[in-house]
Amino acid sequence: MGRYHRPLALADALATLAGGPATVVAGGTDVFPARLGRPFAEDVLDITGITALKGIGLDGGWLRIGALATWSELAQAPLPPWLDGIRRAAREVGGVQIQNAGTVVGNLCNASPAADGVPSLLALDAEVELASSAGLRRIPVAEFVLGNRRTARRPEELATALLIPEPGPGARSSFEKLGARRYLVISIAMAAAVLEPAADGTVGRIRVAVGACGPVARRLPALEAALRGLPLGPDLAGTVTPAHLDGLSPIDDVRGTAEYRREAALVLVRRAIRTLTEQA
């Protein structure tokens, strides 16, 4: 087994990473199950002592979700309605014990195709803040997740926060998850949508993303473009066609066939959009 670091200051954590690679542990709910029966041969960096990484709050037009903010904290924080979608996701990640321990940032950094947080983060145009002893950088979530368990994080970097830009007035969001049972289940497919209505009662901007239907969750740009300018009403959801989901590449596995996933994704996207129109 390698060394176990538990620094209290961010600078010390970054110094550790500068000194060589280490497995970062936040809530550990992804890290530990993946290692069942295998010891940690490498160094471990436990970031749970770094209080600077805690907290969720609005700051200068951005919502900041610290690297130690858990799903339960997100679900319970007093936040505006445009975050309803990701907060619904917060209540669908595992069970309550998992939500109490698991972090939003950990969910993203783990880069599972079925990570429930990622579609909402994509639809919210979220950015990841990465820190190293050389400094800070920010990259959009869409550029951060590169593939199954692969991210753009460099070994010497720590993800310190997620930053979500405040959308236009009247914005709202939704999230739909489908699993083989009602709760405590890995998603077969999920969809997230964020709407910024135009003043004339039509779709201003809409961002839609689908997860678990390919190695990474994806936005649906063709759909977003097609919806722009349409009236915000009960018929909006029905305008989504299978062709709008062409970018998805679902697979067959024990949780469902590719064909089933494609069909389910279409239904979930329509429901996510219907929820947005019903909230009006």
- Residues in touch with ligand FAD (CB under 6 A): 23-31, 33, 47, 67, 93-94, 98, 101-103, 105-107, 109-110, 115-116, 153, 158-159, 186
**Residue 263: which of other proteins, ligand FAD, none does it interact with, CB under 5 to 8 A by kind?**
other proteins
Between 11 and 50, how does the x/- string for binding to other proteins read (CB under 8 A)? ----------------------x---xxx-----------
User: Between 74 and 171, whose beta carbon lies closer to ligand FAD?
Assistant: 74
Which residue among 61, 78, 135, 181 contacts other proteins (CB under 8 A)?
Answer: 181
Please identify, using beta-carbon distances, which residue of 92 and 224 lies nearer to ligand FAD.
92
Task: Using the minimum distance from each CB to ligand FAD, give the nearer residue, 71 or 82.
Answer: 71
User: For other proteins, which is the closer residue by CB, 4 or 183?
Assistant: 183
Q: Per-residue x/- marks for other proteins, 241-270, CB under 8 A?
A: -------------x-xx--x--xx--xx--
Collect all residues with Cβ–Cβ distance below 8 Å to 180 and sequence separation of at least 6.
188, 255, 256
Q: Which is nearer to other proteins, 33 or 135 (CB)?
A: 33
Residue 159 or 210 having the CB closest to ligand FAD: 159
Over the chain, what HEC string results?
CCCEECCCCHHHHHHHHHHCCCEEECCCCCHHHHCCCCCCCCCEEECCCCHHHCCEEEECCEEEEECCCEHHHHHHCCCCHHHHHHHHHHCCCCCHHHHHHCEHHHHHHHCCCCCCCHHHHHHCCCEEEEEECCEEEEEEHHHHEEECCEECCCCCCEEEEEEEECCCCCCEEEEEEECCCCCCCCCCEEEEEEEEECCCCEEEEEEEEEECCCCCCEECHHHHHHHCCCECCCCCHHHCCHHHHCCCCCCCECCECHHHHHHHHHHHHHHHHHHHHHCC
- Residue span binding other proteins (CB under 8 A) among the ranges 7-15, 128-136, 179-187, 231-239: 179-187
Q: Which among other proteins, ligand FAD, none contacts residue 93 (Cβ within 5 to 8 A by kind)?
A: ligand FAD
Which residues sit at the interface with other proteins, rule CB under 8 A?
Answer: 33, 37-39, 95, 178, 180-186, 188, 254, 256-257, 260, 263-264, 267-268
